[in-house]
């Protein structure tokens, strides 16, 4: 027969109980603070139609006030997990610095994950803007969301076309000749880019300066505030 368990074995010591309560309070306070500050980049909604859009001389997609003194250049791959995770930072940066006219954001395609799908994902996003002018940035977000929510496959372009309200056949036809990604690859090579995401800050027409890896919004803000940023 088993003997009775001693009461002391079943008790939670007062010190442990206090520790559990304190930990719970700390977690609750942190959660309340985050909610009160509205810090949830995934919920940021950007109305791109209200932000100036354009393309550089070599075709790079650019967002923001043409007169902004600073441009942040991002080389990314829609299929890159680190790039997908980094989109919350990108959205915060656009909301805090691009919408307010302090900086511009320039997107560059760079295939780094898959020899075929990294190319096709970039080509169909470029074609979204060709078929539906002014839709690049919503298409940019849609492709990142699709690639992050499910593994990119042969059906992803069709789902992308449905989400963007595009004709699938026209999208495929366009993507067979879309070549901005090759221009961006050459530009990336000239800057020594070997992986994604890689970011640069450009002050006016000066040479782009590489940022620390995956800089936070605060780090980008500090770089924008440097003398070259005109703040």
Residue 4, in any domain of the structure: no
Confidence of residue 17 (pLDDT cuts 50, 70, 90): very low
Angle between helices 117-131 and 180-191 (to 10 degrees): 120
Does residue 135 belong to any structural domain of this protein? Answer: yes
CATH number at residue 197: 3.40.30.10
Residue 109 lies in a domain: yes
Facing residues of 55 across strands?
61
Report the interhelical angle of 81-93 vs 217-224 (nearest 10°).
50
With beta carbons less than 8 A apart as the criterion, state whether 42 and 88 touch.
yes
Residue 33 within a domain: no
CA distances to 52, 104, 221 from 231, rounded to whole Å, are 20, 14, 10
Segment 141-169 shows an average pLDDT of: 96
Calculate mean pLDDT across residues 29-45. 47
Residue 122's Cα: distance from chain center in Å? 14
Residue 25 forms part of a structural domain: no
Containing structural domain, residue 176: 52-229
Residue 142's pLDDT is 97
Determine the pLDDT at residue 32: 35
The pTM score is 0.81
Mean pLDDT of the chain: 85
Residue 19 lies in a domain: no
Number of domains the chain is built from: 1
Evaluate if residue 213 carries a pLDDT over 60: yes
d(CA 78, CA 213): 17
In-domain check, residue 219: yes
Cβ contacts of residue 110 below 8 Å, gap of 6+?
75, 76, 77, 181, 184, 185, 188, 193, 196, 198
Give the length of the chain. 231
What is the predicted pLDDT for the residue at 44?
Answer: 82
Mean pLDDT within 169-174: 98
Please state the rounded mean pLDDT for residues 191-200.
98
Confidence of residue 230 (pLDDT cuts 50, 70, 90): low
Domain contains 173: yes
């Amino acid at each position: 027969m088993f003997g009775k368990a001693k009461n002391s074995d079943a008790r939670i010591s007062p010190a442990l109980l206090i520790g559990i309560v304190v930990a719970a309070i700390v977690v609750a306070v942190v959660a309340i603070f985050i909610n009160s500050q509205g810090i949830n980049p995934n919920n940021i909604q950007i109305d791109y139609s209200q932000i100036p859009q354009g393309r550089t001389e070599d075709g790079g997609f650019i967002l923001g006030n043409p007169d902004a003194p600073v441009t942040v250049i991002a080389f990314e791959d829609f299929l890159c997990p680190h790039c997908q995770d980094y989109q919350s930072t990108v959205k915060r940066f656009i909301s805090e610095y691009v919408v307010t006219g302090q900086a511009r954001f320039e997107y560059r395609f760079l295939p780094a994950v898959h020899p075929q799908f990294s190319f096709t994902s970039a080509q169909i996003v470029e074609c979204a803007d060709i078929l539906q002018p002014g839709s690049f940035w919503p298409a940019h977000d849609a492709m990142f969301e699709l690639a992050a929510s499910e593994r990119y496959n042969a059906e992803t372009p069709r789902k992308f076309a449905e989400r963007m309200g595009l004709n699938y056949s026209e999208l495929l036809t366009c993507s067979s000749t879309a070549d901005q990604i090759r221009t961006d690859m050459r530009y990336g090579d000239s800057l020594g880019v070997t992986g994604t995401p890689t970011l640069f800050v450009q002050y006016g027409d000066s040479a782009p300066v590489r940022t620390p890896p995956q800089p936070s919004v605060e780090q980008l803000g500090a770089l924008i505030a440097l003398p070259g940023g005109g703040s």
